[in-house]
Amino acid sequence: MLGRNTADSETDLSQWKGNIHIPRYSSQRLSWLFLSVLLSISACTEAPPENSQQTRSADTLRVVTLISPTTYYQTDYGPSGFEYELAMDFSKSIGLKLEIQAAKTINDLFKLLDSGQADIAAASLTGTAQRQEHYKFSPPYLETAEVVLYKSGSRRPRNIEGLRDKSILVRKRTSHAQTLSRLKKEHPWLSWTETNEAETFEILGMLDEELIDFTVMDSHDYEINKAYFPQLTIAFRLNEPQPLVWMQLKDGNKTLEKKVDIFFDEIRKNGRLEELTERHFGHTTHIDRIGAFTFARNVERKFPEYEELIKQVAKEENIDWRLLAAISYQESHWNPTATSPTGVRGMMMLTQATAREMGVENRIDARQSLSGGTRYYHKIKRRIPSRIKDPDRSWFALAAYNVGMGHMEDARVLTQRQGGNPDKWLDVMQRLPLLQKPEVYSKLRHGYARGNEPVVYVQRIRHYYNVLAWEEKIKNTKPPPTQLARFVPEKLTKVNRLHAL
């Protein structure tokens, strides 16, 4: 039975958007989708011109970043992204106003840093030896490995030899280009193309459309995007995990350097770094490629049949329609007549008892089920302590909708007993699976529960919500007349023609 929790008023889910996800569509729609995303969010915040004589305000921290799912982007609720939240936390900790500069390319990012127009570069940058010659690194906060991506169904390369005579496209001045340059010393035949035109989105689209053979990407970026390109997968890893760091000029502000070091030490110790990491990346591990493909297909084929009804019910019941759509998909895959072996039924998979409690006369009536399930969600969310704020409050309510309020409270009690924070989803999520262990549940009030299920349940709903939110954001964008092929360098176009022969 799907977790039944809803906000007292319309849920503020701004912090759910830890990632931008792009569903897989037809070739034509995919091409304009990527380009429209790039054009629309690039317009949100542009970096100053190269010849800008902008002077720094003494009370301002200038951070340059890139627009991407793992760094910074604009949402309907304002700025978001893992690097953005880190930078905001740091600026607050040192009492400065944050000024974000969004560079369009890696090259532009380093130009702003080199020219002194930015104090810090924070953009999921890999701390390579080459970069360390010119920049001061912060303490590492995440690790990532560089991986070769290919399209499933084509021949998988097992090692560097498999890249011989193939088309490879990477972004200019990235760590990926540096790694390929290093590998070329051992493999002189290795060749690739670097672009300053196409963004990661376009490159993934080219690979999905088989306009190129391979690309190289950081593993954490792949984890974010894999759900929306379910046919793209890892061929092999180019190196061992490398640190992600912030960068400053080596001859820059020494006081600021020390404050950065202190900040990362503090957030690692107090759990804030772990909390942000889970918020932005945690749900990616609970969606496999098949599940992602199925959802994307259902969004395109099945969701339009129920979209207006879901939006109407959401408005009537005061809930974000994207959340209601995500819950109902997790429950029934938008099937009003769905029935489980345990007897729960309908779009929201209500038990008979819950249906009676919520005034639902016909569980397989889509409107009644959606309304009843939403009211039940609201009821559960009202029982979550008011001191717990969103997004954690919504996540607790979803988990309780799935496993029951009693078991959720048991998990919170267990969390407190073990020294964790019972008001943080990250801490409680780690204890929920323990409710399956006899030595644990025997000492709790409500006993045994399949505690891993609410964890998967919540994380999947977060994922579905993100997809629907982004689809809504871009679907009314007028598609430009360009196609992805426009971004494929002529050299690679020729290579692909040869492959076709």
The tens digit of pLDDT for each residue in 234-269 reads 999 998 899 999 999 998 899 999 999 999 999 999
Can you tell me the distance from the alpha carbon of 2 to that of 6, in angstroms, rounded to the nearest whole number? 12
Q: What is the pLDDT of residue 112?
A: 95
Q: Supply the mean pLDDT for the chain.
A: 82
For the residues 162-179, what does the mean pLDDT come to?
Answer: 91
Residues whose CB falls within 8 Å of the CB of residue 450, separated by 6 or more in sequence, listed in order: 403, 435, 436
Question: For residue 22, is pLDDT > 80?
Answer: no
Can you tell me the distance from the alpha carbon of 457 to that of 399, in angstroms, rounded to the nearest whole number? 7
**pLDDT tens digits for range 456-487:** 999 889 888 877 876 665 554 433 434 455 55
């889509």: which residue's tokens? 366
Torsion angle of C-alpha atoms 49, 55, 56, 57, degrees rounded to 10: -120
Q: What per-residue string of b and e applies to 444-461 under the rule 16 or more CB within 10 Å gives b?
A: bebeebebebbbbbbbbb
Q: What is the pLDDT of residue 208?
A: 86
CA 287 to chain centre: 12
For the ranges 5-9, 228-232, 284-288, 342-346, the lowest mean pLDDT is seen at 5-9
Report pTM: 0.65
Bond before 391 cis per omega within 30 degrees: yes
Pairing of strands 168-171, 214-218: parallel
Q: 3-class DSSP state for residue 327?
A: helix
Higher pLDDT, 13 or 156: 156
Question: For residue 161, is pLDDT > 90?
Answer: yes
Can you tell me the distance from the alpha carbon of 16 to that of 465, in angstroms, rounded to the nearest whole number? 8
Question: For residue 7, is pLDDT > 50?
Answer: no
Can you tell me the distance from the alpha carbon of 493 to that of 486, in angstroms, rounded to the nearest whole number? 10
* 331 catalytic per annotation: yes
Q: 3-class DSSP state for residue 28?
A: helix
Side-chain half-sphere exposure of 272, counting CA atoms within 13 A: 14
Q: What is the DSSP letter of 240?
A: S
Torsion angle of C-alpha atoms 199, 200, 203, 207, degrees rounded to 10: -170
Q: What is the pLDDT of residue 369?
A: 97
Can you tell me the distance from the alpha carbon of 144 to that of 175, in angstroms, rounded to the nearest whole number? 11
Can you give the C-alpha Rg of the chain in angstroms?
Answer: 24
Which listed residue (331, 357, 439, 472) is catalytic?
331
Higher pLDDT, 66 or 1: 66
Question: For residue 192, is pLDDT > 50?
Answer: yes
Q: What is the pLDDT of residue 276?
A: 87
Q: 3-class DSSP state for residue 114?
A: helix
> Do 454 and 412 form a contact (C-beta atoms < 8 A)?
no
| Model confidence band, residue 72 (pLDDT cutoffs 50, 70, 90) | confident
For the residues 314-337, what does the mean pLDDT come to?
Answer: 95
Instruction: Give the type of residue at 83.
Output: E
Q: What is the pLDDT of residue 296?
A: 78
Give the CA distances from residue 76 to residues 81, 89, 93, in Å, rounded to whole numbers and listed in that order. Answer: 13, 21, 26
* Residue 174 buriedness (CB in 10 A; 0-12 / 13-18 / 19+): buried
Q: Give 3-state DSSP helix, strand, coil % of the chain, rounded to 5.
A: 50, 15, 35
Helices (H), 246-338: 254-270, 272-281, 289-301, 303-317, 321-332
Q: What is the pLDDT of residue 467?
A: 75
Give the CA distances from residue 377 to residues 9, 11, 85, 203, 323, in Å, rounded to whole numbers and listed in that order. Answer: 11, 11, 29, 40, 11
- For the record, the structure tokens of 253 come out as 């502000």
Q: 3-class DSSP state for residue 53?
A: coil
For the residues 135-144, what does the mean pLDDT come to?
Answer: 94
**pLDDT tens digits for range 378-418:** 999 999 999 999 889 999 999 999 999 999 999 999 999 99
Q: What is the pLDDT of residue 25?
A: 37
Question: For residue 491, is pLDDT > 60?
Answer: no
Q: What is the pLDDT of residue 221?
A: 82
For the residues 322-343, what does the mean pLDDT come to?
Answer: 93
